Structure 1
Amino acid sequence: MPAAFAAEEVGRFAPLYPLPRLELASGRGTRVRDAAGREYLDFVSGIAVNALGHAPPGLARAVAAQMRVLTHCSNLFANRPAIGLANALLEATGYDRVFFCNSGAEGIEAALKFARVRARARGLAGRDVLAFRDGFHGRTAFALSVTWNPSYREPFEPLMPGIRFADYNRLEALDAALDGSVAAVVVEPVQGESGAIPATREFLDALRARTTALGAALVFDEVQCGMGRSGRLLAAEHYGVRADFTVLSKALGGGLPLAAVLMTEGASAGLAPGQHGCTFGGGPAAAAAGAFVLARVRRPGFLARVRRRARELEAGLAGLVERHGSLAAARGLGLLRAVEVAADAPYDAPALVAAARESGLLLVRGGERAVRLLPPLTVGADEIVEALEKLEAAIARLELTGGTRS
């Protein structure tokens, strides 16, 4: 059965995505169907959003129940679902305060603004922000300014001033990059879009020590690696390092727009009414979804099960690298994984994504040569095996035919 691409998109949608796209019509658990009825194993999960899979039992009921009584009330008023979600997040993570907004980019935008307010309140001279090579933090102005990929930044320059970049995971690069001009450092504990690249413990330890010595804020972007995807609620738990701000989104909302900027009491220094806001942030319906997802992820045994599935996926991908010279490496943390296509392979990463799709497996690129695997956190052991079989079939087919390069 041929895949169903939405030809109607062409000429109607702004040309910001490769059109036409595969049209998905329904999903349950780890599987989706396109508009023609063809089934796929979904290892994209809405780019790490659908942590509980598609149509998880109870989520629609929880959101609908809230929408029947109060859907939206703006930030002029409090609502019980947002208060409940705030209490649960703070209790689960050990942070002191939270700001709700709609997306990861909005969360990063807010955290960096708050970090500059904090610097002023503490009497620090600097307002610069240090980010890292190959990092991705979003598409809004401040978030884009700290995103590395020049092809994302250049069409919109000039962007925010006072941004500097250093090499990720290189301690020696911090010597020149960190000084009294820096008010904040923003980093992903696992770089997602660049291909599931985990930070080293030494690197995050050094960032924490040096920002503390300078008085600068440390901001963790856990938009993709947080909410259980690493096998812990926060990826930072693997490292034993606490940031001043941590940004969560994607999986938090269960498919609804929701982000949370978690902060320590000290990090909130200088914040005052009117400095920042979000009309839809922490709305009742999205907060109800967030509370549902968080409760599921915190159930006894849930994260232990994620770690078991992660070990199975890690071992399976390592086996693929051993058997196929066209793969250079496999890497990641938890259920945020990637394989890297070798530079001399007869195919490239887009070709592997397309071949996997033809085999009935949905994957997403990560960086120039990597392909990410982002299954739901509820993925079964049998589905891990099935995905590995489909991926290996796609690789073997590309190697046999000589592959293609986009």
Structure 2
Amino acid sequence: MNKPAPTIDNHSVMFITPRPELTMVEGNGSWLTDNNGKRYLDFLQGWAVNCLGHCNPGMIEALNTQAKKLINPSPAFYNEPMIRLSNLLTENSCFNKVFFANSGAEANEGAIKLARKWGQSNKAGAFEIITFDHSFHGRTLATMSASGKPGWDTMFAPQVPGFPKAELNDIASVKKLVTDKTVAVMIEPVQGEGGVIPSTKEFMQSLRQFTKENNILLIVDEVQAGCGRTGKLFAYQHYDIEPDIMTLGKGIGGGVPLAALMATDAVACFVPGDQGGTYNGNPLMTAVGASVIEQLLAPGFLESVRTKGELLSKELLSISAEFKLEGERGEGLLRALMLSSDIGAKLVELARDRNPEGLLINSPRPNLLRFMPALNVSEAEIRQMCNILRELLKQVS
């Protein structure tokens, strides 16, 4: 039996979201342990952040080794891990230049600035960026304005102007928004917060063709879908297209604060003074990022993500049929189970509070569950999660 833990004194932590009265103290692979000694099978992984699970040995070694050499020389200088990670990213993508940031929102903010800078020089000051309903690009004022999340247009009004909203997988809805002020289209290949909604290949190819024909940049926000999450190193590679700009976050750092803005040579038009950041590209974080990308590129790793994604999809479809739900969707190991009613929040609570071991899942919409396990999750852990889910669905039904 778990011993009761001391009362948590959390009075100094600013309230931004309801949190359960427990503290996570240890993690290993797909498992978290709280201050009561209770373990949780983690299919959240920090919202797709811990792509290699908790306390990955390669990441720990990279941190320890680099911390003994150099932590932060300032962004006024090159450092070796910054260069090594930049090369890894460009050698395995269609992009030529990389700017490192600390969060996906910051990378997306940089993408907006880069597109507008390019528009000043190449499109007579065009600045509008078409985004999509139900999209999520971050929590800065500009990225919230770019996002299509309901209610965000009034939360911190007035919004930053210049982000008309189209409908995902509807090329006509994009075309009708284009004016002489349009500089770019910004899209998540898989809308994560919107409910794990993949873009279709037909739509993405039509979008790329249309943007090229009209001298409009294509920006892919891969903060959630990138870095192996969909079974390829980058999600755009599923569509046989080459975007102009890509942003990465979450998985690129495997749990440390790291993000990236990538662009082709033709678009990388920043000049000194346009972009910067105190910690951006520091060797401690980029050394970890290099370890993450090297592990993702190891022979067979991405293939294993695709295989496990197929297993998770199959298991979720089986659950859907068994409980008369509405199916599943996603790509690789970013998947959602559509529920038949608004029981998502209840299932999340039951899963967390389950004994003797809990389960961590997410419900970005009331009628669906989202799954973002570590990319090296085992097949046994996938089956274990699905069996727990069956147990919970029986409780609520």
Give the TM-score, by structure 2 length: 0.95
In the alignment, structure 1 residue 239 sits paired with structure 2 residue 239: yes
CA contact (8 A) 1:190 1:196 kept: yes
Shift of 1:4: 7.4
SS class of match (2:327): strand
Amino acid at match of 2:76: L
SS class of match (1:41): strand
Amino acid at match of 1:45: Q
Cα deviation code 1:210-241 (max 9, x no counterpart) = 21122111110000010001000001111112
What aligned pairs does 1:1-400 form with structure 2 within 5 A after superposition? 7-9=8-10, 11-20=11-20, 22-269=22-269, 271-325=270-324, 327-342=325-340, 345=341, 348-359=343-354, 360-399=358-397
CA contact (8 A) 1:6 1:23 kept: no
CA contact (8 A) 2:30 2:53 kept: yes
Query: 2 CA distance for matches of 1:171 and 1:8?
Result: 52
Query: 1 CA distance for matches of 2:380 and 2:172?
Result: 44
CA contact (8 A) 1:132 1:168 kept: yes
CA contact (8 A) 1:4 1:34 kept: no
Shift of 1:78: 1.1
Provide closer, same or farther for how the CA distance between residues 112 and 341 of structure 1 changes in structure 2, counting only shifts above 3 A.
same
SS class of match (1:150): coil
Query: 2 CA distance for matches of 1:199 and 1:276?
Result: 31
Query: How many equivalent residue pairs?
Result: 393
Provide closer, same or farther for how the CA distance between residues 19 and 40 of structure 1 changes in structure 2, counting only shifts above 3 A.
closer
Shift of 1:356: 1.9
CA contact (8 A) 1:254 1:293 kept: yes
Amino acid at match of 2:26: S
Provide closer, same or farther for how the CA distance between residues 149 and 5 of structure 1 changes in structure 2, counting only shifts above 3 A.
farther
Query: 2 CA distance for matches of 1:118 and 1:34?
Result: 48
SS class of match (2:169): coil
Query: 2 CA distance for matches of 1:339 and 1:278?
Result: 39
Query: 2 CA distance for matches of 1:92 and 1:228?
Result: 12
Identity %: 36
Q: Gapped runs of 5+ residues in structure 1?
A: 400-406
Amino acid at match of 1:288: A
Give the TM-score, by structure 1 length: 0.93
Query: 2 CA distance for matches of 1:6 and 1:174?
Result: 53
Shift of 1:159: 1.7
Cα deviation code 1:156-211 (max 9, x no counterpart) = 11121111101111222123122322111110000011121100112111221221
CA contact (8 A) 1:253 1:286 kept: yes
Query: 1 CA distance for matches of 2:208 and 2:253?
Result: 29
Query: 1 CA distance for matches of 2:73 and 2:150?
Result: 39
Please provide the CA RMSD for this pair: 1.7
Provide closer, same or farther for how the CA distance between residues 179 and 329 of structure 1 changes in structure 2, counting only shifts above 3 A.
farther
Provide closer, same or farther for how the CA distance between residues 73 and 333 of structure 1 changes in structure 2, counting only shifts above 3 A.
same
Shift of 1:367: 2.9
Question: Where does residue 403 of structure 1 map in the other structure?
Answer: none
Cα deviation code 1:339-394 (max 9, x no counterpart) = 1222xx3x521111112223421001223422111110001111111010011111
Shift of 1:155: 1.9
SS class of match (1:267): coil
Shift of 1:7: 4.5
CA contact (8 A) 2:116 2:125 kept: no
Provide closer, same or farther for how the CA distance between residues 66 and 321 of structure 1 changes in structure 2, counting only shifts above 3 A.
same
Provide closer, same or farther for how the CA distance between residues 130 and 5 of structure 1 changes in structure 2, counting only shifts above 3 A.
farther
Query: 2 CA distance for matches of 1:175 and 1:17?
Result: 38
CA contact (8 A) 2:227 2:252 kept: yes
Provide closer, same or farther for how the CA distance between residues 86 and 387 of structure 1 changes in structure 2, counting only shifts above 3 A.
same
Query: 2 CA distance for matches of 1:150 and 1:6?
Result: 37
> Which moved further from structure 2: 69-78 or 376-385?
69-78
Provide closer, same or farther for how the CA distance between residues 102 and 357 of structure 1 changes in structure 2, counting only shifts above 3 A.
same
Query: 1 CA distance for matches of 2:363 and 2:31?
Result: 19
Query: 2 CA distance for matches of 1:297 and 1:363?
Result: 24
Shift of 1:17: 1.1
Shift of 1:20: 4.0
SS class of match (1:69): coil
> Which moved further from structure 2: 210-219 or 223-232?
210-219
Q: Runs of 4 or more off by more than 6 Å in structure 1?
A: 1-6
Shift of 1:256: 1.0
Cα deviation code 1:32-78 (max 9, x no counterpart) = 11110111110001111111111111321211111111101221111
Amino acid at match of 1:161: P
SS class of match (2:193): coil
